[in-house]
Amino acid sequence: MKKKILILMLALLPIFMLGAKNSSSSTSSNSVPATTTSAGQKATPKKSKYIIASDSSFAPFVFQNDNSQYTGIDMDLIKAIAEDQGFTIEITNPGFDAALNAVQSGQADGMIAGMTITDARKETFDFSEPYYTANTILAVKNNSKISSYEDLKGKTVGVKNGTASQTFMENNQKKYGYKIKTFSDASSMYDSLNSGSVAAVMDDEPVVKYSISQGQKLKTPIEGTPAGDTGFAVKKGSNPELIEMFNNGLANLKANGKFQKILDKYLASNSKSSTDTADETTITGLISNNYKQLLQGLGVTIALALLSFAIAMVIGVIFGMFSVSPIKALRIIATVFVDVIRGIPLMILAAFIFWGIPNFIESMTGQQSPINDFVAGTIALSLNSGAYIAEIVRGGIQAVPVGQMEASRSLGISYGTTMRKVILPQAARLMLPNFINQFVIALKDTTIVSAIGLVELFQTGKIIIARNYQSFRMYAILAVLYLVLITILTRLAKRLERRM
């Protein structure tokens, strides 16, 4: 069926197949600060595995290559250091802001994401020795007339949330009178620049220069401003051995030339992220290069929707029954549950479960959270749909005339039996179309939980766009994929409805 979806998508989208070739230029900004740790040292790992969080698209430091693998300076560096020092790592790539949160809430042990060492961050993070020095720089479209910060007056500048560039722009906002728009990831930020909804973006110089070298039609009219050194970070006071191992490993890699090799691999002016894969400026090229990744994302979306909906049905039926119960306490519990969950936006619920609660537990007990993004997303979606289903169940039961309950009870049949044998069978038929409706909503809501870094279909698309900037075609592909998926599922559900 998955194959069929892709074929259908191909058939529906010939209109987007016009290609736009990009021109290419090359530049690199490159500086390695001196470090003091001497080579030849080794520290002992204390954990069997360290979870390292990173950005999702911050080329050349971290980005997905054409095979959907995360590569870049930071990825190669941390792997080489782990190998050198003999510790095991698992890397997650939820995005910069999400990575900051993951480390702070104890979901990750450390983070490497071209992270600037700032005084403010030193309050909450411990840093390794620096491995790179980067400026922060303003990027505008090739044809933009902006040539100074003064030209930004009244215009909107994009920044990525939680970044050093954001701090820089905020500190200078009064002086130059621009507006700031904050983005959760690079792809939406650069998309907005391309589409003209922001006049400029601020980002790290090597990143901007790299994207220009990869064919992005951008320019940097103003000299970059030193943002500081780049380092590896852990939550303040935690995993000191990880910092020690990073420093030792960095010193060794510098001494044996491997570090320079990693830099050269990504910063040499002729380095290209694309190799012998298809042209990504067409729909067919996009699909043939990324279908594996898209199917994976689709799989996560379907699993998330089905699993959370099944749990939501259980929650919803329980609370729905509570809300029509003759026992007042149960009715109150149901009302409170529905009101609380319906009153909290899904995104905040997901963030609270994934970051908030673990952060709280960690600060109380020092224990790391066992909840991963999929589990947190499933819980949030289940609670959310559960509240709506509870209302559907209540409505369905109440739509059955009260006379039926009274008649049955007057015949001496118990409340439970009347419910099971008389009311629920009729109510279920009334509820079914609403359940289907709720399922479609739940499936679409899976896109919302991508905010916690969960790589479902939407997030997969955003990651691909971050690599190739093909937002028009990629979002069209995503829209068609969701459309096909939802149409198939609703058709199936309708058939089921008819059978019942």
Residue 91 interacts with ligand ASN (CB under 6 A): yes or no: no
Q: Contact between 185 and ligand ASN (CB under 6 A)?
A: no
What does the block give as tokens for 203?
A: 């980002």
| Cβ 175 to ligand ASN shortest distance, Å | 21
Nearest-approach distance from CB 48 to ligand ASN, in angstroms: 28
Question: Three-state secondary structure along 210-221?
Answer: HHHHCCCCEECC
Q: What are phi and psi of 78, to 5 degrees?
A: -65, -35
- Given candidates 64, 104, 116, 252, which one binds ligand ASN under the rule CB under 6 A? 116
Cis peptide, bond prior to residue 33, ω within 30 of zero: no
204 is a contact residue toward ligand ASN (CB under 6 A): yes
Please work out the total of residues on this chain that contact ligand ASN, with binding judged by CB under 6 A.
11
Q: How far is the CB of 477 from ligand ASN (least distance, A)?
A: 26
* Rounded distance between C-alpha atoms, residue 155 and residue 293, angstroms: 37
Residue 189 vs 457, nearer CB to ligand ASN: 189
Q: State yes or no: residue 160 binds ligand ASN (CB under 6 A).
A: yes
- List C-alpha distances in Å: 490 to 49, 173, 296, 324, 495: 43, 49, 22, 29, 8
Closest CA to 446 of 433, 456, 436, 437: 456
**Taking the CA of residue 84 as centre, how many other CA atoms within 13 Å lie in the half-sphere pointing to its CB?**
27
**Between 84 and 204, CB nearer to ligand ASN:** 204
The reply on whether position 157 binds ligand ASN by CB under 6 A is: no
Query: Which value, to the nearest 10 degrees, does the dihedral of the CA atoms of residues 326, 331, 332, 333 take?
Result: 130
Residue 470, interface with ligand ASN (CB under 6 A)? Answer: no
CB closer to ligand ASN out of 115 and 351: 115
**Closer by beta carbon to ligand ASN, 209 or else 394:** 209
b vs e for 151-172, b when ≥16 Cβ sit within 10 Å of the residue's Cβ?
Answer: bbeebebbbbebbbbbbbbeeb
* CA separation, residue 347 to residues 139, 214, 325, 386, 486 (Å): 30, 34, 31, 16, 21
Residue 50 or residue 183: which is nearer to ligand ASN going by CB? 183
**58 sits near ligand ASN (criterion: CB under 6 A):** yes
Residue closest to ligand ASN, measured at CB: 163
User: Closest CB to ligand ASN among 50 and 232?
Assistant: 232
Among 115, 465, 474, 478, binds ligand ASN (CB under 6 A): 115
Binding footprint of ligand ASN on the chain (CB under 6 A)? 55, 58, 96, 113-116, 160, 163-164, 204
